[in-house]
Structure 1
Amino acid sequence: MRVKLSSFFQSEKERCKEELRSLSLSAFSFLVDRGVLNDFLSVVALSPCFKCLFWSHPLWIQEIFSPEGLSPKRWEDHWAALEKILRGTEVLKALRTYKQKEHLRIGVRDLLSLGETSGILEELSRLADAVIEATLRWMEKELQGTYGVPMDPSGNRVPFAVIGLGKLGGLELNFDSDVDLIYVYGTEKGKTAGPRVVDNHQYFVRLSEALTRALSAITPQGQIYKVDLRLRPEGNRGDIVLPLRSYEIYHESWAETWERA
């Protein structure tokens, strides 16, 4: 059986080699010059999913198989790229594409054993953290064009936070994980200062709903992340977002033991 599998793997690599040569001679030459053609062929022979992505985006081959692409990225590296996306057009589409490309890049690193499992999971978590932050920034910009900035009675801007729990919070996100999130804001006292005034709670409900839709929407570029909000107080029966004081009261009076840990 081992001989048959080895023979099949080598045949698949040869098939991929010829397909790549026909698809993009420049990418083929790049891989040869970099001495990583065999690594690339091993990846696409092992993973039909990765092969499909590379064949659909041949420019990604040179980007991912460059020395920089095969190295781990920090949150700051992702944010530098995401800030450019936020200044562009079709932002949500670009965010989905960025996440898809980075998942592929990290997956290549994993298949080539270029990182420990714990490091790969942390890379996936840092990526999610940065992409969720960028999506939030974009949705805030969209909503504040209509409602303005949420303010407290003293005229201060009311803060909003997205908190990652579960595997994301523990920096153990894997390639197929959903993201466990809760949404919290500073105070419900006050209202927005914009063309269409609403109270703070209404504003943050709309922001939370818009962010969840943007992250979860399934499109030709895939979705950014599948979002699970069931860890909030009262789960699916509870409000999608609450002020900080409501969380404090819940944890003081009602939370289960495991929620207090």
Structure 2
Amino acid sequence: MKRTIAGVMNWGAWGAKLHKDDLKELITSCIEGGVKTFDHADIYGGYTTEKDWGEAWGELDIPREQVEVISKCAICIPCDERPHYNIKHYNHSSQHIIESVHRSIENLQCDYLDEVLIHRPSPLMDPQEIGTAIEKLKKERLIRRCGVSNFTISQMELLRTELEIHSNQIEISLDHMDGMHDGTIDYCMTHGIEVQAWSPLGGGTLFKPSSDVRIVKLRSRLNQVAEKYGWTLDQMAYLFLLHHPARIRPVTGSSKWARIKVAAEAEDISISDEQWYEIWTAAQGNEVP
């Protein structure tokens, strides 16, 4: 199984609006290409993408154990599917987490979640509430693991008083290296917490036309390194993450197999530490101290 994770956020109403047959084809292409982990969240597509994916998955004759299914919960967004919400907010109560997992499993038609992530931390987060929900869900074999997303070191420490954290999905890219500098990744490595990287291509920042001088200069520096070694820019962005000793798992954002495949195939390319620092220097705009 590849380390690359297929992020599903843009497959549905929030992005490509793929129809069932297109979803079936994309899911199949991912699995055949070794990308067997799919990253969901209940809110994606305004609470519709999980169901769309599940309807496609349900028509595929693929054993459940061949894939890993991740979903997230705890963000509440007012929309057509949730008209009773008055404002975007977080809900980390045991009841909400349990209900969310049950609903995700039903929508995804997947029997259980390999991992549920707490999508965002909250000032009102009670680790005992979360721990109670996770313990119940594990006992009922509805989830195998629990992780978090966008959590700081102190927030992980708070939650670890009540439960084991398997992973932390954070934003990491050539344009967003905070996790490498603020101790978050160090903490994850120290405690055996898997690091997953959302927006590994910087949300497309490096590829879209821009009048932002900073982005233009960043892209120019990165292209020089990529051209030197015959890499594409997106390939280099994945190589940078994959070479890190934390064994970072990139979560792709594309709805096209050709783009997802770039990340998967980058796993078969080795780079040296010196090349990694060339990329780092180009991204930062200065040498290491």
Greater length-normalized contact order (CA 8 Å, ≥ 6 residues apart): 2
Higher strand fraction: Structure 1 or Structure 2? 2
Q: TM-score, normalised by structure 2?
A: 0.22
Indicate the structure (1 or 2) with the bigger Cα radius of gyration.
1
Of Structure 1 and Structure 2, the greater helix share is in 1
TM-score of the aligned structures, taking structure 1 as reference length: 0.23
